[in-house]
Chains A and B, each alone.
Chain A
Amino acid sequence: MSGVTVFGLCAAAAVGLGLYGLITNPQPLRKIIAFNLLGSGVFLLFGVVGRRGAAAGMGNDPVPQALVITGVVVAFSATALAIALLLRLFQTSASVARSGRASPGDDPDQVGG
């Protein structure tokens, strides 16, 4: 078994792991991490295919490499957008919870603000 096959199997396992975490983890941040794990497995599959296409003095086919570089940056920006959405959701739900508690009269737990 060559090293390329080892990494290919590793990539397939990473995709499976990421998919499992994405479905079963209840916390949104953990879902984002799991999705990134899935993505890195897909990128590694590209790398394995490119490594098998080594030719003309190149150790790895440059076309999949370029696609992965583009993909890594896009994955980062998508993660940043997802985290910004998550933080905003957290802020909004926190302030809703606060204003809900501050509504007069119906909250016996509230003692003196």
Chain B
Amino acid sequence: MSIETVIEIVLAAVVLTLGVWTIVVPETFSATVGFVAYGLLVALIWVRLDAADVALTEAAIGGGLGGVLLLGAAARLRDADMMADARPGKLLRAGAAALSVLTAAVLAGVVLLLPDPAPTLAPAAVANAWATGLSNPVTNVLMAFRAMDTMLEKVVLLLAIIGVWSLAPDSAWGGRPGPRHQADPRGVLAFLARLLPPVGIVIGIYILWTGSDHPGGAFQGGAILASMWLLAIMAGLADTPLVSHRSVRFILVAGPGLFLLVGLAGLLFGAAFLSYPPALAKPLILGIEIAMTLTIAATLGLLLAGAPERSTEP
């Protein structure tokens, strides 16, 4: 057994221990912290699986922004004893355990019995990279070969934000999400929120730009931009925007809107819906990606900010 396999077994064991702890620990807050640590270590597994693009996404969205989301909810629900129903009975727990063990065993069996040689689309993705002019195959799949999935996923994000906003009480309809954060303007948090965003914005744009040839892309870059925005909001340097504001809504539809326009243009002038002419493929994809990055950053930030709670009038 090589040293790499030993490291991988240790990594998997630590991840599973954290998973078990997340499920069984009595305090919700501890479970949340455990899940954040779990998400960051799962990003390491993705690195070991040679999927750096997924590792970046998992670390930025699964571990980072998801962690903020869950921690915020755990803090606000801290005294929510009324939410807890009675703990389920022994019979139900035994049944759930049996079902879970059975599911895990079936999946483990499937993993052990996967066909050999494994089916793969990697050669096809690499062989057709000429059609887009981008050399990162993952970005090619996301933006060209399976562009329909990515476009519809943007629509799902839009539906999620509409769902969150529609939970606003009548008095705050169209208002600002979340409480107004107050922090010492000369304190550490405000200092960080002034120092970090310039660096973070550059890194976010770099990750978007480098995504055409190296691991990175619109999702990862957008997540970094969103976290910079949220840092400024949490330090009290900026306020969450009015959700009824026109420019907010424009940014939210810019990504899917441009995607749809380019797709329809492909239907009218080209071969099919979402087909890019090879000469224009790279600029078109980059243009869509830039619009998508802004949309993703705004959507992720507003999803984290939650439903409007303050009315339009101050």
Query: Chain A: residues with CB nearer than 8 A to chain B?
Result: 1-21, 23-30, 32-34, 36-37, 40, 43-45, 47-63, 65-70, 72-81, 83-91, 93-94, 97
Contacts of A23 in B (CB 8 A): 88, 92, 96, 99-100
The answer to whether A20 and B97 have CB atoms under 8 Å apart is: yes
The answer to whether B99 and A29 have CB atoms under 8 Å apart is: no
The answer to whether B163 and A76 have CB atoms under 8 Å apart is: no
- Taking the nearest CB of chain A, how far is it from the CB of B217, in angstroms? 8
Given known contacts A14-B19, A15-B104, A83 and B70 CB-to-CB distance under 8 angstroms: yes
Within 8 A of A (CB), among B83-119: 83-88, 92-93, 96-97, 99-101, 103-105, 107-108, 110-112, 114, 118-119
Within 8 A of A (CB), among B152-196: 153, 156-157, 160-161, 163-164, 167, 169
* Interface 1/0 per residue, B120-135 and A, CB below 8 Å: 1111011100000000
Partner of A65, one of B15, B39, B141: B141
The answer to whether A36 and B163 have CB atoms under 8 Å apart is: no
Interface size on B, residues (CB 8 A): 98
Contacts of B141 in A (CB 8 A): 62-63, 65-66
How far is B182's CA from A9's CA once the two chains are assembled, in angstroms? 46
How far is B66's CA from A28's CA once the two chains are assembled, in angstroms? 16
Partner of B304, one of A26, A80, A87: A80
The answer to whether A15 and B107 have CB atoms under 8 Å apart is: yes
Stretch in contact with the other chain, from B48-56, B245-253, B264-272: B48-56
The answer to whether B62 and A20 have CB atoms under 8 Å apart is: no
Contacts of B163 in A (CB 8 A): 81, 84
Chain B contact residues: helix, strand, loop or mixed: helix
- Taking the nearest CB of chain B, how far is it from the CB of A48, in angstroms? 6
The answer to whether A72 and B62 have CB atoms under 8 Å apart is: yes
Contacts of B138 in A (CB 8 A): 62, 65-66, 69
The answer to whether A40 and B62 have CB atoms under 8 Å apart is: yes
Interface: B228 (CB within 8 A): no
Given known contacts A27-B84, A50-B51, A80-B160, A11 and B296 CB-to-CB distance under 8 angstroms: no
Contacts of A50 in B (CB 8 A): 49, 51
Contacts of A27 in B (CB 8 A): 28, 80, 83-84
The answer to whether B150 and A59 have CB atoms under 8 Å apart is: no
Given known contacts A29-B28, A56-B122, A12 and B107 CB-to-CB distance under 8 angstroms: yes
The answer to whether B12 and A90 have CB atoms under 8 Å apart is: no
The answer to whether A86 and B77 have CB atoms under 8 Å apart is: yes
How far is B177's CA from A88's CA once the two chains are assembled, in angstroms? 13
Contacts of B61 in A (CB 8 A): 72-73, 76
- Taking the nearest CB of chain B, how far is it from the CB of A58, in angstroms? 4
How far is B59's CA from A31's CA once the two chains are assembled, in angstroms? 22
Question: Known contacts A12-B108, A62-B121, A91-B169; can you find 18 more A-B pairs with CB under 8 A?
Answer: A3-B9, A13-B104, A17-B100, A24-B87, A29-B73, A30-B28, A30-B31, A34-B23, A40-B42, A47-B51, A65-B51, A69-B217, A76-B65, A79-B66, A83-B73, A83-B306, A87-B76, A94-B82
Contacts of B227 in A (CB 8 A): none
How far is B26's CA from A24's CA once the two chains are assembled, in angstroms? 12
- CB pairs A–B below 8 angstroms (26 shown): A8-B111, A10-B16, A12-B111, A17-B100, A19-B99, A23-B92, A26-B87, A27-B80, A27-B83, A29-B83, A40-B42, A43-B54, A50-B51, A51-B50, A56-B123, A56-B125, A58-B126, A65-B53, A67-B149, A76-B65, A77-B299, A80-B304, A81-B303, A84-B306, A88-B307, A93-B83
